[in-house]
Amino acid sequence: MKPLRLILAAGILILCIVILGSCKGHGSDSREVSSDPSVSGEGGFPIRYCPKWQPQAQFAGFYMALEKGFYTQYGLDVQVQKLLPSTEAIDSLLTGSLDIIHIDLLGAILANSEKTRLVNIGQISQRNAMLLIAKKSPKMNSLADFEGKKLGIWRSSSNLITEAFLKEKDISMQLVPIDWSINLFLQGAVDVINAMRYNEYHHMLQAGLKEEDLLIIDLHEMGCRIPDGGLYVRPEFYAEHPEQCKAFLQGTLDGWLYAFSHPEETVDVVIAQMHKAKIRANRAHQTWMLDGMKKNVMPSAAEMGILKREDYQRALKLLQQEMDFPRDMSYEEFYPNGAK
């Protein structure tokens, strides 16, 4: 009987260990995620980050921060999550499935229409790179000629700045949703298309269009000086982990500084990320994009990562006047670093 008792006792002990191990992995503060281990640091505080778009040089700073171990140096284990549309990324952030998302300033402010649900911890883009482009013709020579024409506009929150700009200028157009392609414009199916200077505009030049044959409306030069993408978290996450938020921003900025100082190496890393995602890579275009991002991310070293008060107030005013945003949310509430 003694051996039987020993066997039973051993079995009970093993069962307890299994149960305890299972409970430990599923506590209320569990941060288990499904991420790409090739773009995740080892150890450190886990940060679940969702990029704004597919791999390309627009996000070179993030890739270089991962590649060179900058996040790890700041004590972070950054886990890059599957790409989500802006609205879904916000939903995932609010339910706690993500920690940091990268979305446009106007979309982030609009997400706070009822109460403050997300806050800015760092402004990556310092200017608006949006263009409205048409082919010049006798009937297409100025912004006023856009009236009533067909506009190819993206199916994402990145279109908010275009819509707000057109309302401000009192120009009515037929909106044709597009999926980040210039094909309809090249084929003449739309008269005007929204494009980023560092991205789609260069695709047009590569497709054979000449700058002198295009009517280019630069929203920034037209006074719509509202920056694009920034980093956002829930207010509760920022309150609980301010140092980790600061570390993520600093690691990202270090990545951008490295990218701008080592463009050839950076383009190599970007192209490798694109190939991993099974996206066709054009080295000349990624080089153009990286150079364009330098103008957006680092107009000066002192501005990097900062959401300027005047930029926020300009964006808030535009949404209040043109898109009926109902709140007068303070700069300090939206951008906690601004209160320091």
Q: Which amino acid is at 7?
A: I
- Tracing tokens 């409306």 back to the chain, one arrives at 217
Picking from 168, 188, 218, the residue at the C-terminal end of a domain is: 218
Pair 330, 233 in one domain: yes
Query: What six digits make up the tokens of 152?
Result: 């190819």
User: Each residue of 155-187: pLDDT tens digit?
Assistant: 766 778 898 899 989 999 999 998 778 999 999
Q: Which amino acid is at 236?
A: E
Q: Does residue 15 form part of some domain?
A: no
For 272-324, the DSSP string reads: HHHHHTT----HHHHHHHHHHHHHHH-SSGGGTB---HHHHHHHHHHHHHHS-
For 198-260, the DSSP string reads: TTHHHHHHHTT--GGGEEEEETTTTT-----EEEEE-HHHHHH-HHHHHHHHHHHHHHHHHHH
Q: Does residue 199 form part of some domain?
A: yes
CATH number at residue 231: 3.40.190.10
Whether the CB-CB separation of 126 and 296 falls below 8 Å is answered with yes
Question: What pTM did the predictor assign?
Answer: 0.83
Pair 110, 139 in one domain: no
Picking from 189, 218, 247, the residue at the C-terminal end of a domain is: 218
Q: What is the pLDDT averaged over residues 245-254?
A: 97
User: Each residue of 55-111: pLDDT tens digit?
Assistant: 999 999 999 999 999 999 999 999 998 777 777 889 999 999 999 999 999 999 999
Full residue range of the structural domain in which residue 173 is found: 130-218
Pair 183, 283 in one domain: no
Pair 198, 323 in one domain: no
- Strands across the sheet containing 192-196: 174-178, 150-154, 192-196, 130-135, 214-218
In angstroms, rounded to a whole number, what is the distance separating the alpha carbons of residues 340 and 120?
A: 14
Pair 183, 231 in one domain: no
Q: Which amino acid is at 206?
A: Q
